[in-house]
Chain A
Amino acid sequence: MRAKAIIRLMFLLTNVTWIALLLSALAVMFSQHAGIPSDIPEWLPRVLLGIFLAGAYLYYKFKLERDELLSFIDLLWRVFATGIVATLVSLILKILEFLPGSSRLTSHFLYQETAYLIIMPLWAGLMMISFTACKRFILYQKTKWSYRFWMIFEYGLLGLWILSALPISLTDRFDKVLLGIFVVLALVLSANTRWVAYLNIRQKLTALTLLFFIIFFHGFLFYTSNTIVNGLYHPETGVVDHREHLLLLTVFLFIIVYSVFSFLVLIFNLPTSSAFEQKLEEVMNFRRISQSIQTEQSEESVYRILLETSVSTVNADAAWLEMKTNNPGVNIYTYGIKEEEARQLSSRLHNKEVKGIFDQSADKTHNLSRYLKGSKFRSVIAAPVKVKDEHAGTLVLLKELADGFNREMKQIAATFANQAGISIENFRLMEEAFQNERYKEELKIARRVQKSLLPRQLEQDTCFEAAAFSESADEVGGDYYDTLRLTDEKVAVIIADVSGKGTTAAFHMSQMKGVFHSLADSSISPEYFMRRANRALAYCLDRGSFISAAYFIIHTRNRMVYYARAGHCPVLYYRAADRKATYLNDEGAALGMVRHAGYDQLIKQNEFSFEPGDLLILYTDGITEARNSAGEEFGFDRLSEQINQLYHLPADAIVQSVIENLYAFTGTKNINDDYTLLVIRFR
């Protein structure tokens, strides 16, 4: 925004000073001619020219110097356009002189002065835009030294500007010395022609033409200005005279020197430009293939890019890429060759055991035409595509020319193949990540489903209340608890723990739920329940897996509990009369450990009566075996001690307190096993 305002201001300033310069110079000239003292000081035109030059310089500086979008050719076009306008205007003014009948007017000194003051500023303007363009060319990819030289040069010009605006005239000698110094500086700066290298052949030709015209325009304007001013002024009497203007002369010489230099450099660079373009294309191709890491959608598109870029970079005529698949055999992707032919050539090269060609990046370009018989190709190179350090495929490049590949091309092919390997590896990693994400989603679903296998609400009764808590170490777990009302006066309660944890355990846990719901019945005793459950589970549990369980039937009418414990953690019972929690001592083997009728002898039924205030505490080993940072287990004693202290609370409060105390003990909620706590409070 600020730059725009400055540009506009400078444009205005330049034009206004130009008109002022014209008028003031004419006035001074007229009064000089008439021999009367001028109203306007004689130094004014000089100063105005100085301001004009500064305005034009700043105008172009802000307009062109920082415009990143402007290419070198665009810049030259701008200079050319300015040049052509200036030249045409001066041409018209010159032609006017030769029109019949106009000689009286045009030979008049006032016309000549006016023409000079139009042509010369136009030329000066052209110089300023040329100067700005030269600055950009010289400072392209600047080094420390080129920048310093430029700064010296530009500050020198600033000095000249001040000198030129001052009403002092220097000696001829001093002028020449100064000019000489600046010409030397200009020559040094002219060595900076790096921009030429970055043009392609067409751009170079354009640049040559434009530069030619630009030099011509400068020459023409210089010549025209000279002829006018020669007829106009005697030396040392001029109002404004470019011949005496050191700044204009220096800039003019600088522009001519740099333009001629660039012109020559362009000419000499023409023959090598194709090689440079080739290199540039390599770089671009390489970038393309590395970008494919992030942007491409599939492995196939990476293959495609690999083929295209490598073919164009090494100037091959055809190529194929064979990628190993999971099944024996390869997938072939081709470029400029039919898949069938590629397969034929591939198998022939394999069969003849051309050593190294398919497993290393060998440049087997010699004497291979016999293997390529029947095809139009005469040379071949190959490069391995490695994914995770494994040879995943081969890139094969073909040329119709014999000995068509050199070492460098081989290296390029290898580099491209390498990069493609990285892209592919990336893809596969990404794919795996997606897959994992999907698995995680699946597990989340599994967790939800499994949570729904646990009862949302436990059976309650007038003579007991129940509460439970269960959490698994992984997404899904193997702990199970449930209640089921069998009759008005019988309620079944189960707690079970599948050996191991995780997904397998979760599946077995759901089987346990199925067994419980299908077997639990008022007519079946706990002992019989276990026998039947063992028989059912024997056929569906893995080898080494088992389920520990405890099954209870609460008789609410005769206030008795009948139960069987199959390898489950001992039942903790708080007897209000004793004010003490004790572990019940009984026997019974876990379900699935013995898979034959012998199990029937390993299970026993037990019973006890309950009184109001008694507590039945069921839990899985995740609680008693939970460890703190010192490796100490929560243990049976701590659990019973907790109950001894919490006995007066309602069932859900006991559960909550015990779990909180458990967390306080372990110092974390991440307990390395599934853990469940179920409390029944009798009343």
Chain B
Amino acid sequence: MVQIKRMQQDGTDIIIPVGEIDAASSIELDLTIAKSISEGNTRILIDCTGLEYISSAGLGVFMSYIEEMQDKNIRMVLFGLHHKVANTFNILGLNRLLTIVQTKEEALQAVKA
């Protein structure tokens, strides 16, 4: 059960998932990121402040874009992760594959670099 909003800010596409991402709702996240990429966005922020839970399938979505984004030179930064959600990323080792920061300001900085 996740609601995903999107907004544009300074040429950066911000994706805001609110709720929980499990196997079923991960498809929605997948579609949203795919759409953002197909629209030609090269700077994507994932605002995780409203994300309460993410399952392995949800993590798989982020993971599946890592190589494509590297190839297309797209930068994706996650920010505002709850402690528990961050822990899930860390356990899987995704923290070393994705750029994860604390605040939106940091994220906007990171995505421009």
Contact = CB atoms under 8 A, between A and B. Distances in A.
Q: Do A and B come from one complex?
A: yes
Interface of A: 497, 499-501, 543-546, 548, 566-570, 587-590, 593-596, 602, 621, 625, 673
Interface SS, A side: loop
B57 A593 contact: no
Q: Name which of A544, A595, A625 has the most chain B CB atoms within 10 A of its CB.
A: A544
Contact of B30 (A544, A569, A593, A595): A544
Interface string B39-66: 0000000000000000111011101101
Contact of A602 (B23, B56, B96): B96
Contacts, number: 62
A497 B92 CA distance: 11
B96 A544 contact: no
A594 B96 CA distance: 11
B7 interface: no
Interface SS, B side: helix
Given A548-B56, A589-B97, A593-B97, A543 B64 contact: yes
A587 B96 CA distance: 9
A501 B60 CA distance: 13
Given A546-B92, A590-B94, A593-B92, 4 more contacts: A499-B59, A500-B60, A567-B94, A673-B55
Contacts of A593: 63, 66, 92-94, 97
Contact of A569 (B55, B59, B61, B91): B91
Nearest to B23: A500
A543 B26 CA distance: 13
B106 interface: no
28 contacts: A499-B60, A543-B64, A544-B30, A544-B60, A544-B64, A545-B60, A546-B92, A548-B56, A548-B92, A567-B91, A567-B92, A567-B93, A567-B94, A568-B91, A587-B93, A587-B96, A588-B93, A589-B92, A589-B93, A589-B96, A589-B97, A590-B93, A590-B94, A594-B67, A595-B67, A596-B67, A621-B56, A625-B55
A439 B56 CA distance: 27
Contacts of B97: 589, 593-594, 602
A594 B23 CA distance: 21
Contact of A594 (B55, B60, B66): B66
A627 B26 CA distance: 19
Given A543-B64, A544-B61, A594-B66, A589 B94 contact: yes
B57 A544 contact: yes
A605 to B, nearest CB: 14
Interface in B71-99: 91-94, 96-97
Contacts of A595: 67
B93 A499 contact: no
A602 B60 contact: no
B68 to A, nearest CB: 9
Q: Name which of B63, B93, B97 has the most chain A CB atoms within 10 A of its CB.
A: B93
Contacts of A589: 92-94, 96-97
Nearest to A588: B93
Contacts of A566: 93
